[in-house]
Chains A and B, each alone.
Chain A
């Protein structure tokens, strides 16, 4: 069954190419950011996080970039694979709070 709705922005990428998924966050006081992957019928799964004292963090095949000046976050996936097809969410949290605010999500479709 589907996890999210039909009105998400969609990014279609050829298998093997790099993907870049963008997110604009809302709160200038946010100091912690996370990217989640949600496959159909499953709960969100943590991919990578970054704190506001950094502007770049790398994981396995993934890189998160943070631009605090324009309140922008991006997720780069290298050598995109069919298993990367999912909905990707960014989330933000402000220091001293326990509330996570999620973005609306982007659907990534990997074309064979």
Chain B
């Protein structure tokens, strides 16, 4: 158990819908990273937050957005969902000054 929690574990929805994925980092970790893992690709970095502020942006679509709240949990919002958005979504957290990322168990999103 990495100490990072993600909910829900599975999510099935339809095209055009909007979903919210939630991540709670390890206690004391200020940074949260979001990744997408599709069947035909490796882990793709989406976005990083540090203590509530966006710090780095990767290959995140405009239909996707994220935020980190004062209690440091983070949410990834995916809207106007397409079939190609079906994937595993992971979040990871790190401690200040530490490079090691601890990953959550992931949310499997299926868009029908």
B25 CB–A CB distance under 8 Å: no
9 interchain residue pairs of minimum CB distance: A43-B103, A5-B39, A102-B43, A98-B56, A104-B42, A102-B42, A44-B103, A99-B56, A98-B48
- Which of A32, A45, A104 is within 8 Å of B99, CB to CB? A32
Interface bits B37-50 vs A (CB < 8 Å: 1, else 0):
11111111100101
**Which residues of the other chain, A, contact B44 by a CB distance below 8 angstroms?**
102
Contacts from A to B (Cβ < 8 Å): 1, 3-7, 32, 34, 36, 41-46, 49, 89, 91, 93, 97-105
Q: Is the beta-carbon distance between B90 and A34 smaller than 8 angstroms?
A: no
Q: List 14 A-B contacts (CB under 8 A).
A: A4-B42, A5-B39, A34-B100, A34-B101, A36-B103, A42-B106, A43-B92, A43-B103, A46-B101, A46-B102, A89-B43, A93-B99, A99-B58, A102-B43
* B interface with A by C-beta (< 8 Å): 2, 4, 31, 33, 35, 37-45, 48, 50, 55-56, 58, 88, 90, 92, 99-106, 108
- Say yes or no: A46 contacts B100, CB within 8 Å: yes
User: In the complex, what distance in Å separates the CA atom of A103 from the CA atom of B102?
Assistant: 17
A4 to B43, CA, bound (A): 9
